[in-house]
Amino acid sequence: MKGTRGVLVGGGPAPGFNGVINAVTVAARAQGWKVLGIPKGFSMLMKGDVSEVKELTLADVDGIEQTGGSIVFTSRAKPMKDEASLANVVASIQKLGITDLVTIGGDDTATSAMAIAKKVGIHIRVAHVPKTIDNDLPLPKGASTFGFEQARGPGAQIVAEP
């Protein structure tokens, strides 16, 4: 086993979560990684609760990219709201043996992931997948997040209908 990759979703709902969870899991498992699905964003980790964290297998993610929602759910919880919450998240990640953390969310989730990486130090790598239907992340010109594109298309079609 190469290491343990954790995946969590933060912020409000947007299309495409399960597609990212599927891709992360399939790619990591193909390389010999263990993958943990962290439920409800940072909310449970902020309490030091890892009881619902589940190892994701290929069977768990098979076909989920075609379904809405998130198999690990999401939360708007922000671990940076106080030092104790951030410390609990760091301790939980260390307890789980996570060496790589993949976060899916908007600017608050990205900022939280960066703070966690700084606290844990060289013992963890963090990758953030930008998601927001507001398209308010500082991405390269012309780039948009997957949540924005999936929300904009149907919205524009509904408005254009007679």
Q: Express each pLDDT in 125-144 by its tens digit.
A: 999 998 877 777 777 887 77
The pTM of this model reads 0.87
Identify whether 134 is a catalytic site residue: yes
Give the strand pairing for 54-55 and 4-9. Answer: unpaired
For 13-34, the pLDDT digits (tens) are 887 899 999 999 999 999 999 9
62, 82, 134, 136: which one is catalytic? 134
Largest CA distance in the chain: 56
Q: What angle do CA 56, 98, 26 make, to 5 degrees?
A: 35
User: Residue 108 in 3-state DSSP?
Assistant: helix
CB-count burial class (<10 Å; 0-12, 13-18, 19+) for 79 = buried
